[in-house]
């Protein structure tokens, strides 16, 4: 029997869009800190900075730090960690556009798992919204569908892991404190970073200069230039991931996941404003499809009747 969970589609969508707006900003600074430090040191350092902030959230009354069901919380944290490692590792092997496209297959995986594995009823409008949003992503990233590279499976694996974590958040972690879920995720990412740093000390790999050496770079002592960007990432990620987790707790995953597409609106807009990266007409068309998907899904959610309980 599934425990009763509070559902609020409107609040979930607002939380997710707000989280994606923050992520769209702070993820743009990764390329700046990647000039100096590596992926593993970044995750470890960011976790060290984020944990006191998370404890502060708990002390302010946003939730306890102790999980109610340790197993599902740990599993969820491991899945998210695998998703992030697949995504960031793919950045060293392919253009960031391909890596993002692979990661953002997660809403498609959420829809498929919800329909085929969990046997949930997925209406045609929700399917249309997901496909429209995904089509917008492909247009924004300007991928060539006729050139398949097996390496694209790596970020797609990240999308699958992320989709699984989203479903577990709703089905098994909806009653958990949002702060507890955030703390568990950050600790797991920090441990992964520590393991990576130690592994690269014991078994060092060739390191390229600048961002190209992000994945294979071990511990760097002179991290002064990267510290401000790590702080920005830590503070922004704490706020954004808190809202993201809460959105999945109070909203249906196949509904909430579509609003993650909005990061492809906020990210390019901030990159244009801060770094002068131009947005072409084709990309604007893709962004319009993403916005249309969100609007369509929100409209249908407002018109849909309350679902009947089935046995």
Q: What is the pLDDT along the chain (311 residues), one digit of tens a residue?
A: 344 455 778 888 899 999 999 988 888 888 788 888 898 999 999 999 999 999 998 898 878 888 888 999 999 999 999 998 888 777 666 655 567 677 777 777 877 787 778 777 777 877 887 788 778 777 766 666 666 666 667 888 898 998 899 888 878 887 888 889 989 999 999 999 999 999 998 988 888 887 778 888 989 988 888 899 999 989 998 889 889 888 877 887 767 777 877 877 787 788 778 777 666 777 778 777 877 776 676 666 555 554 443 33
- Contact yes or no for 126/112 (Cβ under 8 A): no
Taking the C-alpha atoms of residue 264 and residue 280, their distance in angstroms, rounded to an integer, is 14
**What pLDDT is attached to residue 295?**
67
b/e sequence 4-14, b meaning 16+ C-beta within 10 Å: eeebebeebbe
Element (H, E) at 282: helix 281-303
Helix axes of 9-26 and 263-275: crossing angle, nearest 10 degrees: 30
Tokens of 250: 């109070």
Q: DSSP 3-state assignment of 112?
A: helix
* pLDDT on residue 2: 41
Q: What is the pLDDT of residue 255?
A: 73
Q: How far apart are CA 110 and CA 259, in angstroms?
A: 13
Instruction: Give residue 195's pLDDT.
Output: 95
- pLDDT at 246 (0 to 100): 84
pLDDT at 41: 93
Q: How far is CA 137 from CA 61, 107, 133, 216, in A?
A: 38, 12, 6, 29
């Amino acid at each position: 029997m599934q425990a009763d969970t509070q559902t609020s589609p409107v609040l979930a969508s607002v939380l997710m869009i707000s989280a994606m707006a923050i992520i769209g900003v702070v993820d743009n600074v990764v390329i700046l800190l990647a000039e100096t430090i590596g992926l593993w040191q970044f995750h470890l350092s960011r976790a060290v900075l984020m944990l006191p902030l998370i404890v502060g959230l708990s002390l302010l009354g946003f939730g306890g730090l102790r999980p109610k069901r340790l197993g599902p919380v740990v599993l969820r944290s491991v899945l998210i960690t695998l998703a992030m490692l697949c995504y960031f590792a793919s950045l060293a092997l392919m253009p960031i556009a391909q890596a993002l496209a692979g990661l953002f297959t997660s809403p498609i995986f959420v829809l498929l798992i919800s329909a085929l594995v969990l046997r949930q009823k997925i209406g045609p409008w929700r399917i249309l919204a997901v496909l429209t949003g995904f089509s917008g992503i492909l247009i924004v990233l300007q991928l060539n569908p006729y050139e398949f590279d097996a390496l694209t499976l790596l970020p797609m694996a990240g999308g699958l892991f992320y989709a699984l974590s989203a479903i577990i958040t709703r089905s098994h972690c909806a009653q958990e404190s949002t702060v507890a879920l955030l703390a568990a995720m950050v600790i797991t990412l920090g441990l992964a970073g520590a393991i990576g740093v130690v592994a690269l000390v014991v078994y060092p790999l060739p390191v390229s200069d600048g961002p190209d050496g992000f994945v294979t770079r071990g511990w760097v002592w002179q991290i002064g230039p990267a510290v401000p960007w790590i702080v920005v990432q830590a503070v922004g990620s704490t706020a954004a991931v808190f809202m993201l987790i809460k959105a999945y707790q109070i909203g249906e995953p196949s509904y909430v996941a579509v609003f993650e597409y909005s990061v492809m609106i906020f990210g390019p807009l901030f990159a244009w404003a801060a770094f002068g990266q131009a947005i072409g007409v084709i990309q604007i068309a893709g962004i319009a499809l993403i916005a249309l998907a969100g609007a369509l899904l929100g409209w249908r959610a407002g018109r849909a009747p309350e679902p009947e309980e089935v046995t």
